[in-house]
Amino acid sequence: MRTTARAVVIGGGIAGCSAIYHLTREGWTDVMLLERDELTSGTTWHSAAQVTNFGGNQTMVGLKTHSINLYNELANDPEYPINYHHGDGGLRLASEEWHMEGYRHFQSMAKGMGVEFELLDAAEAARRHPLITTDGLLGALWDPMDGDIDPAQLCQALARRARLAGAEINRHTSVTALKQLPDDTWVVTTDKGEIHAEHIINAGGYRCNEIGAMMGVTHPVVSMEHQYFLTEPMQGVIDAGHRMPLLRCPTDDFYSRQEKQGLLVGFYEQDCKTWGLDGIDPNFTMALSPDDPDRVLPVLENVFKRMPALMETGIHTIVNGPITYTPDGLPLVGRIPGKRNAWCITGLRAGLGEGGGHGWLLAQEIVHGQAVYDTWCIDPRRFSKRADIPYTTAKVVEDYQNEFRFHRPHEFRPAGRDLRPSPLHATHAQMGAEFGVVNGWERPLYFNKDPNFKADHSYHFSNIDPLVEAEVMHLHNHVGIAEVNGFNRIEIAGTGAMNWLDRLICGRVPTKDGKVGLGYFLTPKGDVLGEATMARLSDDKIWWGSAAAAEDHDLDWLRAQNPPQGVTLQSKAESHTILLLVGPKSRQLLAQACPERSWERADFPWLSVTECQIKGINATVMSVSFSGELAYEIHVGLDQSVALYEALSMVGQDFNLRPFGMMAVESMRIEKGYRHWKADLITEFDPLESALDRFVDLRKVDSIGVQALIAKKGAKRREFVTIKIKSDFAPAHAGDSVMDGDRVIGTVTSAAYGHRVGENLAMAFVDPEYAQIGGDLTVWVQGEMLSGTVVSPCRFDPENHNMRG
């Protein structure tokens, strides 16, 4: 066994085998995989191993397409062919109208990744799968690429290719300890000796938290027991003359594929069971849990209704094994939060279908610092440290119970909802707030007073829209108050802080105390990594503000940029919150609440910051606006937030102050052309493609990514535009394709109805030749090709009169 390696992968299931193969493919050959038993001895060996193309967003569809292409290539490798039933096709059934709505959206979204889903009626679905009945069936989504693969052969083939490229694969080698050295490299201790590695990768499957514990990390990953049955041969399968397509349904909670001349049927039962929470027997390897058919009986009823022939068919094998989940059902692939040179590819619940793609994106991140797609949806840093095992368990159980029930627009499910409650939660609830969650923080989405109101989470305009419109118009004409809790705020302080920050941002850090500016930071390749509001409180103290979801991401990234000695980074996300005052009367309200200083435009203009006291409460006030109206962000200690809210509300009685939620802000920011991190600001595009030219100073050649940007010489992959959709049929949704005839020419990133301007708006990246203002195009929304026009990005008050007051 070698004693040094550039990267050590721990675990030899599909995750580890894909990771090591792709590391070699991306150019790192001095790499090693350590497996405590045989390859695939964890979950992989007994997987149902279905490989599907369906994903909830474009990154997931793209990485699954990579899996499919790779598996096809391996299957056709004459030197080492493997069994892969590629192209049996798959049906996602629809028995409720919202299933079809979702499928129409996913069809449009997948088209942008070159994947052609087809929508079928019930009769055609039954023609393609002769064993199903059409009772209560509305239709189905057809995924032509679906199939299944031999998981052991797949891993052996990946390992073989990695070995041929120079990787070393050590079976029966258990990692027992991990220690990080001061230079950020690692000592990996095994039962066969030590290895000195630059990078480590946790691919430990259901044992990922045993490996995590060796480096002081708890991954938000919990395993569930998961069962499938294999049936005896079935005449219907034999007679069909073709392989049965895969089958799943959002509300019937089962899946199925062909296995030999019978079927494999798997279950997601409501009465589900976690696995391994109290520790895992070290001898549990190549092992299964005891059969537990009673648990899945209720689901079996759904199966029999859809495929009556199964009632007459015997079961010859039951497989019950551990399957890993995370709080949102997507895996953890990327940097381990708070660690350097440490990565993970864990929490895979569909590892055979997705594993090829996850290993590919992870290897690109490790080797090149960035992957071809934006990987935020699988980034381990998307959960805060608050996502502990009890929280993860609650969400995992919920996710398992809803395996095929995709989230609908503005739908937030009930489990784990009190992770990060705000002291103002009860106040907001009493006012009729409907809450959503951002990074564990509960935030009002909108308010309604009707106790019988039931939100319609439609992909069309819904009964939520009039409530949002009323809030927007109130903010436009009067004044409103909201809390933006969890906003990511990092105090950067100390001598040299400004110079250090200046090197990180591709634009300018505010040069005057009391000023606020917006900055963008880039990947080394010059693409957009993030956005920060920089509020300069003094010449050696600045507040870095960014999206609540960016909490771990930004802190990790700032720390990785090695702040000079004496410069400190302190997160205030947990200790502070923001009260927002928005609307033309916000200045008068603030002046009445805090008469000790002048809030007049001349004394406290737009983009100013000051520390002050309001009604005796310490606050930091910024005159910044995401809505396009005059607005103030009042940053206050969490412990003082209720007192300040009450004080402002009392003063607000004179001004018709009303609460508002985040959906009003979403509509208003789109009218202003303002971007959202990880919706409109993604690592797939640089700031010039993202139409952020005014925040880029190409003379700053020492700032991260600027040289790379210059080297591109203005070449653009796509351009960011605003589209006015000439129809009120439905709003667009992130991921919908922008079309010219049959050709995809762009992708929607955000969309909402602009209530102040009365326009159905979408933001999108489109091919450069379609970015001209006034140009016509179509947006594929809910199965309809809706005409649209590229319009100037700021739809509301382009001169910013309102914001300046």
Ligand X SMILES: Cc1cc2nc3c(=O)[nH]c(=O)nc-3n(C[C@H](O)[C@H](O)[C@H](O)COP(=O)(O)OP(=O)(O)OC[C@H]3O[C@@H](n4cnc5c(N)ncnc54)[C@H](O)[C@@H]3O)c2cc1C
> Smallest gap, in angstroms, from Cβ of residue 262 to ligand X?
16
Stretch that binds ligand X, among 9-17, 89-97, 103-111, 547-555 (CB under 6 A): 9-17
Considering only residues 166 through 195, tell me which ones interact with ligand X, judged by CB under 6 A: 174-175
Structure tokens that stand for 683 in this block? 């690592």
How many CB atoms lie under 10 A from the CB of residue 450? 8
Identity of the residue numbered 710? I
Q: Which is nearer to ligand X, 350 or 464 (CB)?
A: 350
Q: Which is nearer to ligand X, 262 or 480 (CB)?
A: 262
> Smallest gap, in angstroms, from Cβ of residue 248 to ligand X?
10
- Examine residue 329 and tell whether it contacts ligand X (CB under 6 A): no
Phi, psi of 508, deg, nearest 5: -115, 140
Q: Which is nearer to ligand X, 258 or 627 (CB)?
A: 258
Q: Which is nearer to ligand X, 71 or 98 (CB)?
A: 71
Choice from 7, 141, 323, 468 touching ligand X (CB under 6 A): 323
Count of residues engaged in binding ligand X, rule: CB under 6 A: 43
Q: Which is nearer to ligand X, 187 or 470 (CB)?
A: 187
> Smallest gap, in angstroms, from Cβ of residue 797 to ligand X?
49
Stretch that binds ligand X, among 6-14, 115-123, 272-280, 596-604 (CB under 6 A): 6-14
Structure tokens that stand for 88 in this block? 């049996």
Identity of the residue numbered 86? H
> Smallest gap, in angstroms, from Cβ of residue 320 to ligand X?
7
| Three-state DSSP state, 203 | coil
Choice from 7, 8, 9, 13 touching ligand X (CB under 6 A): 13
> Which stretches of 288-407 are assigned E, i.e. beta strand?
315-325, 332-335, 342-346
Choice from 5, 8, 12, 131 touching ligand X (CB under 6 A): 12
Stretch that binds ligand X, among 13-21, 234-242, 569-577, 647-655 (CB under 6 A): 13-21
Cα-trace Rg, the chain: 27
How many CB atoms lie under 10 A from the CB of residue 112? 22
Q: Which is nearer to ligand X, 34 or 505 (CB)?
A: 34
> Smallest gap, in angstroms, from Cβ of residue 361 to ligand X?
15
Structure tokens that stand for 75 in this block? 């299957």
Choice from 8, 9, 11, 329 touching ligand X (CB under 6 A): 11
> Smallest gap, in angstroms, from Cβ of residue 409 to ligand X?
27
Q: To which H or E segment does residue 647 belong?
A: helix 641-652
Stretch that binds ligand X, among 345-353, 419-427, 490-498, 664-672 (CB under 6 A): 345-353
> Smallest gap, in angstroms, from Cβ of residue 322 to ligand X?
6
- Within 13 Å, how many C-alpha atoms sit on residue 116's CB side? 4
Phi, psi of 545, deg, nearest 5: -120, 135
- Examine residue 360 and tell whether it contacts ligand X (CB under 6 A): no
> Smallest gap, in angstroms, from Cβ of residue 347 to ligand X?
8
Q: What is the 3-state secondary structure (H, E, C) of 400-424?
A: HHCCCCCCCCCCCCCCCCCCECCCC
- Give the single-character DSSP code of 435: E
Considering only residues 199 through 218, tell me which ones interact with ligand X, judged by CB under 6 A: 203-207, 210-211
Q: Which residues contact 452 (CB under 8 A, 6 or more apart)?
A: none
547, 485 in Cβ contact below 8 A? no
> Smallest gap, in angstroms, from Cβ of residue 178 to ligand X?
10
Site string for ligand X, 647-686 (x = CB under 6 A): ----------------------------------------
Choice from 7, 14, 265, 739 touching ligand X (CB under 6 A): 14
Choice from 56, 351, 380, 530 touching ligand X (CB under 6 A): 351
Identity of the residue numbered 9? V
Q: Which is nearer to ligand X, 66 or 756 (CB)?
A: 66
Q: Which is nearer to ligand X, 175 or 482 (CB)?
A: 175
Structure tokens that stand for 535 in this block? 């509020």
732, 781 in Cβ contact below 8 A? yes
Considering only residues 564 through 603, tell me which ones interact with ligand X, judged by CB under 6 A: none
> Smallest gap, in angstroms, from Cβ of residue 247 to ligand X?
12
Stretch that binds ligand X, among 319-327, 453-461, 570-578, 747-755 (CB under 6 A): 319-327
- CA-CA distance, 313 to 69, in Å (whole number)? 35
- CA-CA distance, 536 to 320, in Å (whole number)? 57
> Smallest gap, in angstroms, from Cβ of residue 145 to ligand X?
14
> Smallest gap, in angstroms, from Cβ of residue 323 to ligand X?
4
> Smallest gap, in angstroms, from Cβ of residue 405 to ligand X?
18
- CA-CA distance, 505 to 557, in Å (whole number)? 12
> Smallest gap, in angstroms, from Cβ of residue 151 to ligand X?
7
CA angle 342–14–368, rounded 5-degree value: 40
- CA-CA distance, 119 to 97, in Å (whole number)? 13
- CA-CA distance, 12 to 155, in Å (whole number)? 8
- Examine residue 226 and tell whether it contacts ligand X (CB under 6 A): yes
How many CB atoms lie under 10 A from the CB of residue 405? 18
Q: Which is nearer to ligand X, 283 or 452 (CB)?
A: 283
According to DSSP H, which parts of 415-550 are helical? 425-430, 465-477, 497-504
What's the chain's length in residues?
A: 805
Considering only residues 254 through 273, tell me which ones interact with ligand X, judged by CB under 6 A: 266
Torsion, Cα 53 58 63 69, to 10 degrees, reads 50
Q: Which is nearer to ligand X, 15 or 518 (CB)?
A: 15
- CA-CA distance, 34 to 494, in Å (whole number)? 44
- Examine residue 64 and tell whether it contacts ligand X (CB under 6 A): no
- Examine residue 333 and tell whether it contacts ligand X (CB under 6 A): no
Considering only residues 101 through 120, tell me which ones interact with ligand X, judged by CB under 6 A: none
- Examine residue 92 and tell whether it contacts ligand X (CB under 6 A): no
> Smallest gap, in angstroms, from Cβ of residue 331 to ligand X?
8
Stretch that binds ligand X, among 5-13, 294-302, 528-536, 634-642 (CB under 6 A): 5-13
Considering only residues 275 through 294, tell me which ones interact with ligand X, judged by CB under 6 A: 285
713, 782 in Cβ contact below 8 A? no
Q: Which is nearer to ligand X, 13 or 112 (CB)?
A: 13
Site string for ligand X, 32-61 (x = CB under 6 A): --xxxx---xxxx-xxxxx-----------
> Smallest gap, in angstroms, from Cβ of residue 273 to ligand X?
12
Choice from 10, 145, 509, 761 touching ligand X (CB under 6 A): 10
First to last CA, the chain: 70
DSSP bridge pairs for 97: none
DSSP string, 7-34: EEEE--SHHHHHHHHHHHHTT--SEEEE
> Smallest gap, in angstroms, from Cβ of residue 406 to ligand X?
17
Identity of the residue numbered 273? K
- Examine residue 467 and tell whether it contacts ligand X (CB under 6 A): no
Q: Which residues contact 376 (CB under 8 A, 6 or more apart)?
A: 382, 678, 682
Tell which residue, 487, 482, 505, has the closest CA to residue 571: 487
Stretch that binds ligand X, among 126-134, 193-201, 348-356, 578-586 (CB under 6 A): 348-356
Q: Which is nearer to ligand X, 48 or 647 (CB)?
A: 48
Inter-CA distances, 717 with 504, 526, 690, 744, Å: 24, 13, 10, 14
Largest CA distance in the chain: 86
What region, left, alpha or beta, does residue 646 occupy, with left being phi > 0 and alpha being psi -120 to 50 degrees? alpha
- Chain residues binding ligand X by CB under 6 A are 10-16, 34-37, 41-44, 46-50, 174-175, 203-207, 210-211, 226, 228, 266, 285, 319, 321-323, 348-353
